[in-house]
Amino acid sequence: MPRKPRKQRDDDPETVAFLFALGQKIQQLRTEDYSQEDFAAAVDVYRSHMSLIERGKTDVRLSTLLRIARALELSASELLDLVDQPLTEKRGGAS
């Protein structure tokens, strides 16, 4: 029996904005210590997948989010809290 095609969904604007903000925050935080390729290796994902995450082009699995947070020396909740802060802020709230 042939496989059913994956359901295509239209993400709502709020989800799109969240994924974009999360990706931008991950990129901002990782560039302090890692190249994208090195960070992807630390998180155990392909560099191309990390690129999609940082551009907000893909959903992030919870297990991947946890590994990203660990590589950034944050908890998952701290990382998600940082998404609500302006992109110019650094860890610890320093500008």
**The CATH number of the domain where 33 resides is what?**
1.10.260.40
Domain count, the chain: 1
CA distances from 35 to 15, 32, 63 (A): 27, 9, 21
- For 4, the token pair is 């059913």
Whether the full predicted model's pTM is greater than 0.75, yes or no, is yes
Which pLDDT score, from 0 to 100, does residue 89 have? Answer: 47
- For 37, the token pair is 């390729």
pLDDT in tens, the chain (95 residues): 677 776 666 678 888 999 999 999 999 999 888 999 999 999 999 999 999 999 999 999 999 999 999 999 999 999 999 988 765 544 444 44
Q: Which residue has the tokens 């860890």?
A: 91
Residue 20 phi/psi, 5-degree rounding, is: -65, -45
* Start-end of H helices in the chain: 13-30, 36-43, 47-54, 62-71, 76-83
Domain assignment present for 25: yes
Which pLDDT score, from 0 to 100, does residue 32 have? Answer: 80
Domain assignment present for 32: yes
